[in-house]
Chains A and B, each alone.
Chain A
């Protein structure tokens, strides 16, 4: 290699390595697995594990919400898929829903997941799943937010008859 090429090579390698370091400090991965996932996201080759997603969906429909969320977590470790995040939010909603009260902690986590779904989706997110009563992330988020609010309306006994969506 010609010696005059080394300064150029040095500049390119320094800038590339510096960018990798900055990316690591910004994304703060917790393990080498997360580093690999983050690299796939950055390279645009990241995909959700379809088999795990389907397994999680079966658990969700069997009302095994925590197990479903764990499985979706493994299917979408980088939390980059809006559809998966929508289902995660829905799982929080259904687990936190009660006829007499709503679990605020679960609802708040549901709002976070719904926010992720909304921000990740380039267009308004709609999930055409006939087993669900809410099909858009915005609708789901509004329902979760309503559940965390304290209003006089909460004392209305008719609310006990409201169905879970």
Chain B
């Protein structure tokens, strides 16, 4: 087995699920401002809906080809590993949304609507994997900036006088439904890391893992001894000669 083949398999079967599950872990993690304690926020129902829409977009955009991930002619272990990786991708997507959505109040629903509207419209657009990835990066970066930079700056306890006025105006305009939970600044850093890791995880996802079949055959060939390789080459040569001679024979007859 070559080192490159082993590394590729290690990244595909071990590193990729770990990256996606780390996103699933950190996506709901907040650090409270009062005592700097951890707060694990389970994904709200709307994030599961958003993750479902995003998964559909992955399939439509060709970022994931389910038929190539789970196939009947593949060993059972590989199929199970792929199903778990796809489940981790779904969980990571839900938690990535959870990370950039405000936790409660009017803004939670405004952001959710913004995501739903964007993902729903994208269902009817034509995407290739690279374009879809760029689009998602911009989507998550925008939501991150709005939540953790703009809204976090409006926390009355920490903001300057302009921030306090802005927060008061927003509260008044939203009839008091604009609740901005106060978290420690570490929450923003965790969310940034989560979004970056999520995009990195998406970049690691191969659209069709079966395409490395040729590499797998090559590695199997390399494992054969010199005698086995020679016999295989002879067999291939015989096979090719047979397939080339068949039409000629047909023409002669």
Contact = CB atoms under 8 A, between A and B. Distances in A.
B29 to A, nearest CB: 9
A88 to B, nearest CB: 21
B9 A24 contact: no
A11 interface: yes
B25 A24 contact: yes
Contacts of B80: 7, 11
A14 B85 CA distance: 8
Contacts of A77: none
B219 A3 contact: yes
A14 B17 contact: yes
Interface stretch (A28-36, A55-63, A65-73, A118-126): A28-36
Contacts of B81: 7-8, 10-11, 14
A138 B107 CA distance: 48
Interface class of chain A by DSSP: helix
Nearest to B5: A3
B9 to A, nearest CB: 4
A8 B18 contact: no
A8 B78 CA distance: 8
A7 B12 CA distance: 9
Interface stretch (B34-42, B57-65, B186-194): B34-42
Contacts, number: 70
Contacts of A28: 38-40
A6 B21 contact: no
B38 A30 contact: yes
A21 interface: yes
B38 A14 contact: no
Interface string A35-48: 00000000000000
Interface in A5-31: 6-11, 13-15, 17-18, 21, 24-25, 28-31
Interface string B82-97: 0011001000000000
Interface in B33-69: 35, 37-40, 42
A5 to B, nearest CB: 9
Contact of A10 (B13, B24, B35): B13
Contacts of A14: 17-18, 21, 81, 84-85, 88
A2 interface: yes
A1 B3 CA distance: 10
A10 B6 CA distance: 13
A31 B40 contact: no
A17 B37 contact: no
10 contacts: A1-B6, A3-B5, A3-B9, A6-B9, A7-B75, A7-B80, A14-B17, A17-B18, A24-B25, A30-B38
Given A14-B21, A17-B17, A17-B18, 19 more contacts: A3-B5, A3-B6, A3-B216, A6-B9, A7-B77, A10-B12, A10-B17, A10-B84, A10-B85, A11-B77, A11-B80, A13-B18, A14-B88, A15-B84, A18-B21, A25-B42, A28-B40, A29-B38, A30-B37
